[in-house]
Amino acid sequence: MNTTISDQEFSQFQKLIHQLAGIHLSREKKAMVCGRLAKRLEQHGLDTYGEYFQLLTAASNAAELQVAVDLLTTNETYFFREPKHFTFLRDKALPAHKPGRAFRVWSAASSSGEEAYSVAMLLADHFGDAPWEVVGSDISSRVLDKARSGHYPLERTDGISREHLSRYCLKGVGPQHGTLLIERKLRERVNFLQVNLSKDLPALGEFDLIMLRNVMIYFNLDTKRQVVQRILPLLRYGGHFLIGHSETLNGVADGLRMLSPSIYQKL
């Protein structure tokens, strides 16, 4: 098997992942693409990345295409990442909510679920058994399966407070030693869906808060605009829109007021 990917082959994968997911793979990602797909070549007994690309684009190969998308779109996440957002949710957004309807949050690039469950813990603290819902979405079916399980290695739970660990998490024993399970009642309030943000969105309803964090760094400017234009109609007026601290909406969206860097409100 050829362990290197040519410029032409890399360009084919660049175009493919942009077409499928809106993601821009820079030249610096060439080694990543090579490394993440190498085992798939080996699995199928292929010699070159060009042969694997042909396999991916052949008719009736949706399953392998999903595998490739999963491998090329996996992003790092962890519980209570960028804590200022969760402080804002707890201290500002939730107390301002008027009773009478469910408070709904969309974690729009939820990866393996840590962000969505972090939100769910705060909503459960504030609302208890009153109506609330968290929707988590991602393009990768593999990370969504992980998210639905709510089962994580203990070393990935450093961001969870002792109080939340006690209230919402179960520590593994025996064969599950070294792991943590989000308790069932909380898992049942979080709904994970496969959503491709670069395509037309499914009917998700309206949300009081939408988190689109640490994903726009993978989009070019045109794709950022298109994605945000799809998402904003689902945000209630007065609702909040959160992006990653390293991201910006300059030149991307109208109709939002910046409350602080990375925190916006829909006008």
Query: How do the domains of the chain map onto residue ranges?
Result: 7-73, 83-266
How many angstroms separate the CA atoms of 151 and 173, rounded? 13
The hierarchical CATH code for the domain 7-73 is 1.10.155.10
Tokens, residue 36: 């993440």
Catalytic residue among 138, 187, 208, 213: 138
pLDDT of residue 108: 96
The hierarchical CATH code for the domain 83-266 is 3.40.50.150
pLDDT of residue 32: 87
Whether 79 and 156 have beta carbons less than 8 Å apart is answered as yes
Whether 201 and 112 have beta carbons less than 8 Å apart is answered as no
pLDDT of residue 196: 93
pLDDT of residue 146: 94
pLDDT of residue 64: 87
Catalytic residue among 36, 81, 148, 156: 36
Whether 122 and 90 have beta carbons less than 8 Å apart is answered as yes
36 is a catalytic site residue: yes
| Contacting residues for 149 by C-beta, under 8 A, at least 6 apart | none
How many angstroms separate the CA atoms of 52 and 252, rounded? 35
138 is a catalytic site residue: yes
Residue 26: strand, helix, or coil:
coil
How many angstroms separate the CA atoms of 107 and 120, rounded? 10
Q: CA distances (Å), 6 to each of 3, 16, 77, 222, in order?
A: 10, 15, 31, 27
How many angstroms separate the CA atoms of 146 and 152, rounded? 8
How many angstroms separate the CA atoms of 249 and 224, rounded? 9
Residuewise pLDDT in 10s, the chain (267 residues): 657 888 999 999 989 888 888 888 888 888 888 988 998 999 899 889 999 999 888 766 788 888 888 888 767 789 999 999 999 999 999 999 988 899 999 999 999 999 999 999 999 999 998 999 999 999 998 899 999 999 999 998 889 999 999 999 999 999 999 999 999 999 999 999 999 998 999 999 999 999 999 888 888 889 999 999 999 999 999 999 999 998 989 888 889 999 999 999 999
